[in-house]
Structure 1
Amino acid sequence: MMDETSSYPVPAYVGDAAVGDAGASWREPPHNIEAEQALLGAIFQSNRAYERVSEFLMAEHFANALHGRIFESCGKLIEQGHLATPVTLKAYLENDPLMKEAGGVAYLAELANAVVTVVNAEDYGRQIHDFAMRRQLIDLGTGMVNDAFEVEFDHTAMDQIESAEQRLYDLATTGKQEGGFQDFRMALHTAVKMAEAAHKREGQLAGVPTDLMDLDKKLGGLHPSDLLILAGRPSMGKTALATCIAFNAAKLYREHIDESGNRQVLDGAKVAFFSLEMSAEQLATRLLAQEAEISSHKIRTGELSNDDFTRMVTVAQELSVLPLFIDDTPALSISAVRTRCRRLARQQGLGLIVVDYLQLLSGGPGFGESRVQEVSAITRGLKAIAKELNVPVMALSQLSRAVEQREDKRPQLSDLRESGSIEQDADVVMFVYREQYYLERAEPSRRPDEGEDKFMERYADWQKRCEKAHNVGEVIVAKQRHGPIGGVKLYFDGNFTKFGNLMNHDHGDDDDYE
């Protein structure tokens, strides 16, 4: 039989005491050679035992390297439709150096004879996997300690913490993100369940509701795994609309906990809001002003009446229980966003991510002066986060100045900065447009060669257009992979930078498909 202590010894502590120092104490990492032998013997007796463990167990999980090779060889034979037995494995392993050390192919027969029962095969596999995870935790902890001793100016302690968190998350989700083929019947079942949930839901939406009725009707809510781009020129209200959607989703959040303790989201979402432009306090003040309908300027300067202050405190208490989480760290990298979202999803749950705004993110080192490549990496990273966590990701984006050069100021897809990558990776592209903003800055003046009557006619027409555009914002859905495109009118209150539903309006949408 093999030496049952053949594994990787790890020091109990590292640092000044290097490997081999007399002062270092040693502990063997957790492993169970007997369980490994019993599992392999069970596989030899019945190859179905391999099927029970192959979904989560891999060759590298075995503490004994030879056992890992035997397990891998069994898998190859079974996948080819052959039986995996000591006889069929002989040709593959008889010249293996580790097999020779163990006593040759006779060791395979010993494994087959040592098994007691096939029933416990999965239990053996689970324990082997658990011990492998523990050994990786030890390696990860050792690496963290050694990294902390290495002081580098371009690699701060916070960078090391984020890196360690990401490695821990990757370890925790080993096997969960590897993918593979899914039976179409199961995919159909999932689609029908999603449609059933939407049918039963009060708003009849498949995705996260924005509580803006016409926008929800156009989009069907914000769908899981979608990357949505919300773009516009400065002062159009991008952040106001994003905060409105985030607030509404958090306000509508409802969940059901069954007898087993499993949580089922019935409506709304828990929201992560990355505010790279505004501080958390500024964002909170804006939300407070919107809901209390008090000017944010008055809140900041303290010019509040007693009634205003009382209303503000009442609203603040109501808002304090919302599942809305704000991160205002500036110049975040896409990897840091991924790490923090994973952590929040694990600790609190997560249903919607909002990034304000895309161009303020960093793609990480290695892009040099190529901003286009960096933005491409950022949009790909945001789409990957949406798919991995199965939540909608809404990223705000600036538009180029080309809009200002045209007579028609309505945005187009070509106005997106670095538009190629953003437009390509996004599932939905929306533009915020307020005609009122441009009309107010285009008050007509009398031309030198223009008569009084002609000027008054133009001025009256301008006034009429201003009245029609007053307190009206528009969301232009320019791209949607799974639904119609077109414009949606919303109410916009400039005093509180607040979007809402536009009641009793008459407008038509051109429902086109991509």
Structure 2
Amino acid sequence: MVSPPGAEEHSATTFRTPPHNYEAEQALLGAILVNNRTYEKVSEFLRPEHFADPAHARIFDACGKLINRGQIANPVTLKTILEQDQALAEIGGTHYLAQLAGSVVTIINAEDYGRLIFDLHLRRELIDLGEELVNDAFQGDVDTSALDQISQAEAKLYELGTTGQIEGGFQDFKTAVINAVHMAEAAHKRAGQLSGVPTGLRDLDKKLGGLHPSDLLILAGRPSMGKTALATNIAFNAAKRYREEVDALGNRKAADGAVVAFFSLEMSAEQLATRILSEQAEVQSHKIRQGEMSNEEFQRLVLAAQELHALKLYIDDTPALSISAVRTRCRRLKRQNGLGLVVVDYLQLLRGSSTRSENRVQEVSEITRGLKALAKELDVPVIALSQLSRSVESREDKRPQLSDLRESGSIEQDADIVMFVFREQYYLERAEPARRPDESDDKFNDRYAAWQKRCEEVWNTGEVIVAKQRHGPVGTVRLFFNGDYTKFGDLAEDRYVSSDSYE
């Protein structure tokens, strides 16, 4: 029987050995055994599981344990640790360690060997992921659409591209403690003594310690309170302060500030840019829109635009985005340009994964869970703006409470921090006292004077009420607010009063 053309070539290529380089692994391990300082060059990015040969992985792990304890790692000291290792015994036992050390020609290229080992590990993981994707696609699960599979695949590819790990797992407490110390060290080195992304607002940063990675922050308020203005100010300040460093693998990471993704579901990108220009050039936004600027104001606008065009601030104004689309776009942005902060304006305009939602409360719950998962997956803070129910307006004290969060209790539950924006000036301006029937002039004048005094006290100020914070105190932060430019800033020290309490 004659075989079809190409059959022999096909059968010969059906099995392919996953990419590996045992010689590079041997060269790196030999260099470490000869000079333990070599381990320091690769330990930041290389792990035992990145080695293709299990015996090499165990040798590298044993070297790391000894070196981290301040001991010397060489064939003699490793003998006690590895003499019971069956895999090592099969390739020569402790004699193999001596061969590794004795065959080293140079340690100069040791870091290059480490990067090659890491690259080949990623290739093997990519092959496994590709096989998994093919198998999942062939199964045709009714409950999982093709778009869902694409979203899951992109999540795994992103995870593989950023950390080299496809699946999560347990992390020992020692690793968690070391990471916490590194975060504290980074905060100590910063001028602002912050462990998170700075908001650019002195007193708010003191209260929150910056915006922490993996946190979901809810910023809520009634209309005209300035929640979009505050979110815009924070996004601008973080992007303006962005400064990056390069690690041992050549990856960029933020040393200060953040690359910001701003999902503006309510305003267009041009409107948002106009608002930021108005804030920075101190030109009223309606003048910009209507072209009523003076020559001096136009010059300020041009100068501000020149300073802002290089900001690491990315705006997506696609309306009615789904939570899965937000995740996909954030992953892509982080992979291509980096990402340190996500802002969503606002939460209630997002859609859940289902095209038809019969229960709005469940949909909002899904959205908040998705935003929290996004914060943890990308290890960035996520600020989501939220509406408040009208029950605030029926109270004498209009300051918001956690119970005022609209449509779902899961907003409060899933959030790490809940903040409310409140401007008493807004309500006072609409509550000018009127003379009551049969009221004497003296009583009316006293009431009117008290109203005027209160207006003066809160003029151009706003409050950020931190109602929930997992990591620190709750309380109120007073800020300066300029309504002409919708701009928040630090309040002068003599006008600032802080209130703290703990959950």
Q: Where in structure 2 are the equivalents of 1:490-501 lying within 5 Å?
A: 490-501=479-490
**2:179 aligned residue:** 190
Task: Give the Cα separation in 2 of the matches to 1:419 and 1:437.
Answer: 27
Kept in 1: contact 2:19–2:124 (CA 8 A): no
Residue 221 (structure 1) aligned with residue 206 (structure 2): no
Query: TM-score when scaled to structure 1?
Result: 0.72
Q: Where in structure 2 are the equivalents of 1:252-291 lying within 5 Å?
A: 252-257=241-246, 261-291=250-280
Task: Give the Cα separation in 1 of the matches to 2:469 and 2:121.
Answer: 47
**1:31 aligned residue:** 16
Q: Name which of 133, 139, 143 aligns with 2:126.
A: 133
Task: Give the Cα separation in 2 of the matches to 1:498 and 1:319.
Answer: 16
Q: Name which of 414, 420, 425 aligns with 1:431.
A: 420
Q: Do the aligned partners of residues 130 and 256 (structure 1) sit closer, same or farther apart at CA in structure 2, a change above 3 Å counting?
A: closer
Measured against aligned partners, the alpha-carbon deviations of 1:148-178 in whole angstroms (never above 9, x if no partner) come to xxxxxxx99x999867745643664696253
**Which shows bigger deviation, 362-371 or 216-225?**
362-371
Measured against aligned partners, the alpha-carbon deviations of 1:49-95 in whole angstroms (never above 9, x if no partner) come to xxx976798xxxxxxxxxxxxxxxxxxxxxxxx9989xxxxxxxxxx
Shift of 1:416: 0.2
Kept in 2: contact 1:207–1:222 (CA 8 A): yes
Task: Give the Cα separation in 2 of the matches to 1:463 and 1:231.
Answer: 28
Kept in 1: contact 2:478–2:497 (CA 8 A): no
Residue 237 (structure 1) aligned with residue 251 (structure 2): no
Kept in 1: contact 2:50–2:121 (CA 8 A): no
Measured against aligned partners, the alpha-carbon deviations of 1:22-44 in whole angstroms (never above 9, x if no partner) come to 9xx979567228989xxxxxxxx
Measured against aligned partners, the alpha-carbon deviations of 1:314-355 in whole angstroms (never above 9, x if no partner) come to 110100111111111111111111111111111111111111
**2:382 aligned residue:** 393
Shift of 1:291: 0.3
Q: Where in structure 2 are the equivalents of 1:330-349 lying within 5 Å?
A: 330-349=319-338
Task: Give the Cα separation in 1 of the matches to 2:288 and 2:382.
Answer: 31
Kept in 1: contact 2:51–2:117 (CA 8 A): no
Secondary structure of 1:505 counterpart: helix
Kept in 2: contact 1:31–1:132 (CA 8 A): no
Q: Name which of 442, 447, 457 aligns with 2:446.
A: 457
> What 5-or-longer segments of structure 1 have no aligned partner?
1-19, 37-51, 58-81, 86-110, 148-154
Residue 319 (structure 1) aligned with residue 304 (structure 2): no
Q: Do the aligned partners of residues 256 and 128 (structure 1) sit closer, same or farther apart at CA in structure 2, a change above 3 Å counting?
A: closer
Q: Which amino acid aligns with 1:32?
A: T
Q: Do the aligned partners of residues 455 and 253 (structure 1) sit closer, same or farther apart at CA in structure 2, a change above 3 Å counting?
A: same
Kept in 2: contact 1:367–1:374 (CA 8 A): no
Q: Which amino acid aligns with 1:291?
A: Q
Task: Give the Cα separation in 2 of the matches to 1:278 and 1:389.
Answer: 25
Task: Give the Cα separation in 2 of the matches to 1:34 and 1:283.
Answer: 49
Kept in 2: contact 1:399–1:417 (CA 8 A): yes
Residue 502 (structure 1) aligned with residue 491 (structure 2): yes
Query: TM-score when scaled to structure 2?
Result: 0.74
**Which shows bigger deviation, 503-512 or 458-467?**
503-512
What root-mean-square deviation, in Å, do the aligned CA atoms of Structure 1 and Structure 2 show? Answer: 3.9
**Which shows bigger deviation, 238-247 or 503-512?**
503-512
Task: Give the Cα separation in 1 of the matches to 2:118 and 2:286.
Answer: 63
Q: Do the aligned partners of residues 179 and 504 (structure 1) sit closer, same or farther apart at CA in structure 2, a change above 3 Å counting?
A: same
**2:363 aligned residue:** 374
Give % identity: 65
Q: Which amino acid aligns with 2:194?
A: L
Q: How many residues align?
A: 422
Shift of 1:257: 3.3
